[in-house]
Structure 1
């Protein structure tokens, strides 16, 4: 009985070793694709900062200017869903010039608003109006695509094509035949990239550039003799 069991174990180990020895090799490659599109939306971050003797007075000034700022944005056709308060704070202003203990000289109140502008032709006018309304802090501007799905699909297809071309070249160079796909995974990112496109609105020249939509894929193929 022991001899039978031992023979069975030995046969199992032998089959497993033979399968491992004859398992087809695997080729791993990656591919990247990108599509440049003209953006159709801008995201701006702006706000109001005031300093006064008391926290209440500073916050009151900020509140008044923030209300005027939001009213102006609404008057320029910016929807309420595209206006979001991203920061609201108040804190002491310290006198750091004195050689003795630090003293509070006043209070600084601050609010920041993130705004999506979907009409790029009116972006310059929006910037002019919000500055006139009391915005005295500007933290940046970026351009985006409202619906990137078509560009993302094109970038993915380009990434897969590149991965396939690499796999075909490598397998041919090794004298092997490219087998079926064993694994396919995706990763990707997009971001703004300044290019040649420019628009002018009101008195502010706006260079919208291009938004580059990127996609990357990883693929594994079986290789056959």
Structure 2
């Protein structure tokens, strides 16, 4: 090989080496002043344990939401409405004067005036009068005396009770407690798995709370006639409040 050919191969080799070096340099991470690069020993995948934790607690309700109302009948719509207004005035005295309920705890949930029909043997409808109904949602917190309260409102003219819903106003407090229980449950499971694998937990990588915290309400159907009969006999209506179950679940990922 003559000298001219040797020079050409030498120049080509140097150019290829320079190109390879430049491409490698571009592939390295760029650092600022004082930064240090630590190469990962593996692909970067961590050893993790993923577990589900359940939290549950039973609490007593502390508030009742009562749907009650007054229904009156008369020959005309005007008279039915007037009778309803008169009865409602007596009911207000019990709610606000005797039991001192705040205005925010008594809300009108419905009001209607409608014709009432009678039907002939041939099925023909005829207006026989009118009815007026006003419904209220009442928030009541003295649950130990709930039966006595129902007797008082029925004696004042409330002849419609569509049920009582029990709940709690300490939802945020119970939410934190049940989340803590769920996290403890998840940790216990992860520790058992790590122990079986001969490892130790290093810390939490990720947490997801699934579905939030469930605080269901308990519904009780109250027979108005039963409440009125018990009250008339001198025995207060007995209401069982039951219990509420507060639940949540979490998914926790631990590194080990």
Same-fold call, TM cutoff 0.5: yes
**C-alpha contact (below 8 Å) 2:175/2:213 kept by paired residues:** no
Residues 165 and 64 (structure 1 numbering): CA distance in 2 closer, same or farther, change over 3 Å? same
Distance in 1 separating the partners of 2:242 and 2:61: 8
Q: Which residue of 1 aligns with 2:95?
A: 73
Distance in 2 separating the partners of 1:96 and 1:167: 71
Match of 1:119 among 142, 164, 176: 142
Name which of structure 1's ranges 76-85 and 143-152 shifts more when overlaid on structure 2: 143-152
The normalised TM-score by structure 1 is 0.73
Distance in 2 separating the partners of 1:172 and 1:108: 72
Match of 1:190 among 196, 211, 215: 215
**C-alpha contact (below 8 Å) 2:114/2:132 kept by paired residues:** yes
Residues 193 and 132 (structure 1 numbering): CA distance in 2 closer, same or farther, change over 3 Å? closer
State the aligned residue count.
212
- The alignment's C-alpha RMSD in Å is 3.7
Distance in 2 separating the partners of 1:191 and 1:180: 33
Residues 204 and 22 (structure 1 numbering): CA distance in 2 closer, same or farther, change over 3 Å? same
Note the alpha carbon deviations across 1:24-75, whole angstroms, 9 max, x for none: 2543332222232333332211111234443333322222222221221111
CA shift at 1:105, angstroms?
4.3
1:40-59 correspondence to structure 2 within 5 Å: 40-59=62-81
Q: Which has the higher strand share?
A: 1
Give the match's secondary structure for 1:164: helix
Distance in 2 separating the partners of 1:28 and 1:51: 65
2:47 maps to 1:28? no
Question: Considering only CA atoms, is the larger Rg found in Structure 1 or Structure 2?
Answer: 2
Divergent runs of 4+, >6 A? none
Which runs of 5 or more structure 1 residues have no equivalent in the other structure?
Answer: 13-17, 195-200
**C-alpha contact (below 8 Å) 1:93/1:105 kept by paired residues:** yes
Residues 22 and 204 (structure 1 numbering): CA distance in 2 closer, same or farther, change over 3 Å? same
Which runs of 5 or more structure 2 residues have no equivalent in the other structure?
Answer: 1-14, 29-39, 220-233
The normalised TM-score by structure 2 is 0.66
**C-alpha contact (below 8 Å) 1:124/1:202 kept by paired residues:** no
Distance in 2 separating the partners of 1:49 and 1:172: 68
Q: Which residue of 1 aligns with 2:201?
A: 178
Match of 1:38 among 42, 60, 75: 60
CA shift at 1:188, angstroms?
0.6
Distance in 1 separating the partners of 2:41 and 2:89: 74
